[in-house]
Each structure stands twice: as structure tokens, then as C-alpha cells.
């Protein structure tokens, strides 16, 4: 049951965080002939997933080092805030004119944008290789087929973005607690409240996003 919950969390994070990657794939291949466009989408997406597997495996190893997991938690918390408070503009990605250039563009963009996904999945998997591989494999159909569908879902159902950001913030809180040095410091400083830190951070992130939307609607 716990594994199913983890896979559900990973799927939600992939759904929210892979949207930009899927849009980049669509933009990078839009100038190619139809048959080459399909090849670029598949090869680019598969290459991006393989790249993400390697980066996530490296992240799992690095997160075992004291303080690294705490730093990763802070970065993931920043990504959660950024997800709700900022809107990335991917329109600067230009369509390539050859298959190879299109694949290069997709891989380069995915490498730059994969930090959030890699950190989140590595933290959620907590060293479980099977969960790690299955979670990353779930991103293949999301990235390949999902560009327009994801963008439409995120516009029509903003709750998905809030839920994804909340999961990221909750995961960031767990990373802070699991770090040998940061976690022990938090437990010794606020022993009665330490275990509530993930829930507290998730609430803050969701509230910040709601306040931004509320202020925008009033303006």
C-alpha cells in the first residue's frame, strides 16, 4: 500500500513538473516534417528519460551525504514556491530544422529543467530502486504524449498545480528531517513540532499560491 501511495505521489509530481518538458519537445520539433517530428519526439523523450534516470541515480547517492539532503530539501521547497508563484515562459525555445538538432535541443532543455523532477523522485524513492525506475518510467508517456494535454489540464484544473506543489513542499520537509545533521538540529530545537514540519511547509506553499491568485483576482 505504501508503494502505491509513493507511485501516486511520483505520478502527480511528474504530471505537474513534466509539463514544461513536454512543451519543449513540441516546440523543438514543430518545424520538422511529420515523420521526422515523430522520431524527434520519441528519441528526444527516451533520451531525456535515460538522462533523468542517470541524474536521479546520482542524486540518490548524493542525498546520503550529511547536509546534502538538507540543502536538497531547501532547493525543493524553493521549486515548490516557484511552481505556484512564477510562470515559466518556454516560447524562447526555437524549432530546429533537422532531426539531430531537434533531439539536441530537447536533451539540453530537459537537462536544465530536470532538477526539480530529479530531486523530488530521488527523495520520494528514498533509495528504493524499483520505485525509482517505475516512477521515472511513468514519465515516458507523460512527456511523449502529454504536451498539449498537460497544458490544458493545468489550465482547466489549477488544483493539480496546488496538489503538486504541496507534495513537493511536503517532500522537502521530509528531506530536512531525514538529513542526519539538519534533522537532529530540528528535533532538538522543536521536539514537539518537528514531525509536523512537512505538513507545515506544504500548507505555507499552498497558502502562498492561493494568496497570489486571490490578489490577482482582486486587481
What per-residue confidence (pLDDT) applies to 91? 44
pLDDT by residue for the chain (219 residues), tens only, comes to 677 777 777 777 776 666 666 666 666 666 778 777 777 777 777 777 777 778 877 887 887 788 888 888 898 788 788 777 764 444 445 555 677 777 777 677 666 666 667 777 777 777 677 777 777 777 666 666 665 566 566 667 778 778 878 887 888 898 899 888 888 999 999 988 888 999 999 999 999 888 888 887 776
What per-residue confidence (pLDDT) applies to 88? 44
Contact in structure between 143 and 49 (CB atoms under 8 Å): yes
Please give the distance of CA 99 from its chain centroid, rounded to a whole number: 27
What per-residue confidence (pLDDT) applies to 197? 94
The domains of the chain are located at 2-218
Distance from C-alpha of 152 to C-alpha of 141, rounded to nearest angstrom: 16
Q: What angle do CA 67, 73, 78 make, to 5 degrees?
A: 130
pTM for the whole structure: 0.66
Amino acid at each position: 500500500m505504501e508503494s502505491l501511495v509513493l507511485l501516486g505521489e511520483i505520478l502527480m509530481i511528474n504530471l505537474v513538473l513534466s509539463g514544461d518538458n513536454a512543451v519543449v519537445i513540441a516546440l523543438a520539433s514543430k518545424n520538422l516534417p511529420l515523420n521526422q517530428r515523430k522520431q524527434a519526439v520519441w528519441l528526444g523523450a527516451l533520451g531525456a528519460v535515460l538522462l533523468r534516470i542517470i541524474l536521479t541515480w546520482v542524486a540518490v547517492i548524493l542525498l546520503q551525504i550529511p547536509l546534502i539532503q538538507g540543502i536538497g530539501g531547501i532547493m525543493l521547497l524553493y521549486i515548490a514556491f516557484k511552481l505556484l508563484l512564477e510562470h515559466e515562459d518556454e516560447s524562447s525555445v526555437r524549432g530546429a530544422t533537422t532531426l539531430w538538432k531537434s533531439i539536441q535541443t530537447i536533451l539540453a532543455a530537459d537537462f536544465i529543467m530536470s532538477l526539480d523532477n530529479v530531486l523530488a523522485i530521488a527523495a520520494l524513492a528514498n533509495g528504493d530502486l524499483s520505485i525509482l525506475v517505475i516512477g521515472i518510467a511513468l514519465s515516458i508517456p507523460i512527456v511523449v504524449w502529454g504536451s498539449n494535454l498537460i497544458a490544458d489540464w493545468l489550465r482547466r484544473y489549477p488544483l493539480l498545480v496546488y496538489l503538486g506543489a504541496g507534495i513537493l513542499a511536503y517532500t522537502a520537509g521530509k528531506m530536512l528531517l531525514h538529513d542526519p545533521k539538519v534533522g537532529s538540529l530540528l528535533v532538538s530545537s522543536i521536539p514537539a513540532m518537528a514531525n509536523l514540519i512537512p505538513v507545515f511547509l506544504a500548507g505555507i506553499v499552498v497558502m502562498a499560491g492561493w494568496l497570489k491568485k486571490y490578489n490577482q483576482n482582486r486587481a
